[in-house]
A and B are shown apart, each in its own frame.
Chain A
Amino acid sequence: MRLFAPALAFLFWSAMALAEPPNCEIPGYFLEGQYELKRVNASVSQHRQLTIAVLGTGSSILAGPEGPRSAYPARLEAVLKKRLPSVSVKVVTLVRSRETAEDLAAGMSKLLVDQKPDLMIWQCGTVDAMRHIDLDEFRDALSKGLETLHKSGVDAILMNMQYSPRTETIVALGPYADVMRVVAQQHEVPLFDRLGIMHHWSDTGEFDLYVTGNDNVLAAKVHDCLGRGLATMVMDAAHLGELEPKPAQ
């Protein structure tokens, strides 16, 4: 019976979640963590500016003329600008399609020199899982990249794969997602669990991710919600809410 208890609790909780209106809802445990973004905090409090670089692969952009503006990095920037009106916020997107974590880690130092970000949001894992890269190599690549960031004093958030129900039997994401979780924990870096969050949205009916058609609206909505989630994570982990002066009455 002890084994069934968590499953039953999960069922009950999911049924509760179904009743709520869909509104980019992300359960707290996905975003709350004990790791802090100190550089972000310092930059905002001392210089009133924040530069974020998003380094990722194909799932960090959307195609089409509206693509770049609808993708989650642009949405993150928009939300942060709104929430931090007195801060100069800049989000740059560095998309490297079809590159593995190792490729991305190798180019990391140069990106830091070019972009001088306070925070690097590193999205990866999909390409590695699709190519069956050895888990050891994947782990080493992640560690190498995070160490590069750490040495340069740049904060990091690791972001894992998208939840894609139709391709689940084709790409085994699980082992790669596990590695990312462990590496993030070891390097004391927040993990933005995109896989878990999108899975949650699919379970609660917030989004129908099984849809096959060419639906740009759905893609834009999902990215908007991801951007909001990321903004909340950045605000919380860097304690930015406390830094923003309260608007005058």
Chain B
Amino acid sequence: MPEVELGEAARKIAPVQAPAVSRGRDLRLDLFRGIALWLIFLDHIPSNIVAWITIRNYGFSDATEIFVFVSGYTAAFVYGKQMRERGFIVASAQLLRRAWQIYVAHVFLFAIYLAEIIYVATRFENPLYAEEMNILDFLKQPDVTIIQALLLKFKPANMDVLPLYIILLLLFPPTLWLLQWRSTLALGASVLLYVLTWHFNWNLPSYPSGHWFFNPFAWQLLFVFGAWCAMGGAERLSAVLRSRVTLAVAFAYLVFAFCISFTWYVPYAGQFVPKWLEEVIYPIDKTNLDVLRFAHFIALAVVAVRFIPQDWPPLNSRTLWAPIICGQHSLEIFCLGVFLSFAAHFAMTEISGAFWMQITASALGILIMIAAAWLLTWYKGAEGRSAGARPKKTPDADLAGGEV
């Protein structure tokens, strides 16, 4: 797509998007979310050699942190404007509708997942895996399983992110209200909830046992922190972000995390990690958004913001067009990514699991994600341009990456 058109589209939405507190749309958010969506897709294909390039192998945090932070940022950006212009009730209603859309998307993915595993179940009798086949026991009670899935208690592997997103949006109206008036108080409340969650082990229950893999009471911290940054927090932090000391600390921490992650893949290197340090850092708790993970994300963000300014020329060029449009249609592309990771696994089991297939499936999947995002952009443009089309009253959150 020529950059002229994208520039035109950006100009068109600019007046709608310009928030009171920020200088307008930040394409870096779309870029990072688009890349995060690709990385999540690659990580979701099991036994995928291409997943070695994803950031989770080189530090504590992974693409989920980027996705949740940017989603919080864009949600505040879009619905904050609605709340200021049209009031608490309307903005809350829009947030709830958004949560409902994500719920429907999740159930749709669950249906595809069920079809895949029933296929596996009916064709698999390798005696080596007699024990693993017990996982299909839940198919003996499909009524219970489906109801538990609709209640968001039964969540198959790799389908934990959307339920987290739903809860975050459901909790967001009062948070956003507080962010408008006393943004730092809202952030403080979020930190307090995070601390209390760690202290009292709060989490939501799962079926058949255990709790949510992404604890919403812990992960809300990153979402609210993203929202706080959108509501002017980023500008308040700008002096800290510009400081050389901050950059040095961030770099040092990233190198430290890289060294620790190295010991996960080269067990021999483990002996160079002092015992006391192991006691301090492990376990690195993904479920409850470990402080080490949060800090790793912040360090990545500090470095990224430092070297990629908001007016960085490639952001408006053809080079980064593909990840940016993917980031601009995050819900659709995320769901497509989950589906494509199932499809890639299916191709690996039915055709070949060899390296050429892993690389082909990964590349093809990303191309399909780009094509779909391009199609969605085209639809939006075509609808906006059609004669007699009334300007949309609802906020076009697609363009900020978090649709309504």
Q: Which residues from chain A sit less than 8 Å from chain B, CB to CB? A: 3-4, 6-7, 10-11, 14, 29, 32-34, 57-59, 62-64, 97-98, 126-127, 130-135, 137, 139, 162, 164-172, 175, 178-179, 181-182, 185-186, 191, 199, 202-203, 209-216, 218-219, 222-223
Contacts and interface: CB of A to CB of B under 8 A. Distances in A.
B386 interface: no
Contact of A133 (B52, B120, B210, B341): B210
A210 B213 CA distance: 28
B127 A11 contact: no
B209 interface: yes
Contact of B49 (A11, A32, A98): A11
22 contacts: A11-B355, A14-B355, A59-B129, A59-B130, A127-B134, A132-B208, A132-B209, A162-B128, A165-B348, A165-B349, A166-B120, A166-B126, A169-B345, A170-B117, A172-B213, A175-B213, A185-B278, A211-B126, A212-B124, A213-B125, A214-B127, A219-B126
B209 A133 contact: yes
A71 to B, nearest CB: 11
A63 B130 contact: yes
Prevailing SS type, chain B contact patch: helix
Contact of B127 (A33, A63, A97, A135): A63
B158 interface: yes
Contacts of B129: 59, 162, 164, 166-167
Interface stretch (B178-186, B267-275, B298-306): B267-275
Interface in B206-232: 206, 208-211, 213
Contact of B116 (A64, A98, A169): A169
B312 interface: no
A59 B282 contact: no
Interface of B: 46-47, 49-50, 52-53, 57-58, 113, 116-117, 120, 123-136, 156-158, 206, 208-211, 213, 264-268, 270-271, 278-279, 282-283, 285-287, 341-342, 345, 348-349, 353, 355
A170 B206 contact: no
A147 to B, nearest CB: 15
Contact of B283 (A58, A59, A139): A139
Contacts of A165: 46-47, 348-349, 353
Contacts of B50: 7
Contact of B158 (A6, A162, A172): A172
A212 B123 contact: yes
A110 B354 CA distance: 46
A102 B117 CA distance: 28
Given A167-B124, A181-B264, 15 more contacts: A4-B53, A7-B52, A10-B49, A33-B268, A59-B129, A126-B132, A130-B135, A166-B349, A167-B133, A169-B342, A170-B120, A210-B348, A214-B125, A215-B126, A218-B128
Contacts of B133: 167
